[in-house]
């Protein structure tokens, strides 16, 4: 008979074991096809956002350069009152204090985000 009709091999092809084996094979093919679809979708989206990520990185580098220029400017301004070493120490100390404060707040937020809410007290 044709491929869509009943098979000529006998009733063994319609046994529970054979049907279950076909089900497992079909499920495996389905999962593999879904994974290929998700992977293709992911790569397509990554290609779409690639230029945006590059622009974001460039903006971060420019912002970092601006911060460095600001700190150098502060050293130049404070040099008249504090001297070169004092101005450098003041700008360094202030920058480290701000960096430490930001890191401390970030750690608190990370702990809050990862804290298990259902802890017994």
Q: Which of 93, 88, 85, 89 is nearest to 73 (CA)?
A: 88
Could you read off the pLDDT of 32-47 as tens digits, one per residue? 999 999 999 998 888 8
Amino acid 120: pLDDT: 61
Amino acid 29: pLDDT: 93
Amino acid 67: pLDDT: 93
d(CA 80, CA 84): 8
Could you read off the pLDDT of 51-65 as tens digits, one per residue? 888 999 999 999 999
CA 54, 55, 60: angle at the middle one, nearest 5?
A: 100
The pair of structure tokens assigned to 2 is 């044709």
């Amino acid at each position: 008979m044709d491929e869509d009709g009943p098979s000529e091999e006998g009733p063994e092809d319609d046994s529970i074991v054979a049907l279950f084996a076909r089900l497992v094979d079909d499920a495996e093919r389905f999962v593999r096809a879904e994974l290929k679809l998700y992977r293709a979708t992911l790569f397509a989206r990554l290609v779409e956002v690639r230029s945006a990520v590059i622009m974001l990185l460039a903006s971060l580098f420019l912002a970092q350069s601006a911060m460095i220029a600001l700190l150098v400017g502060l050293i130049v301004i404070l040099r008249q009152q504090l001297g070169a070493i004092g101005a450098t120490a003041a700008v360094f100390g202030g920058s480290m204090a701000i960096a430490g404060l930001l890191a401390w707040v970030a750690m608190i937020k990370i702990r809050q985000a990862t804290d298990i809410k259902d802890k017994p007290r």
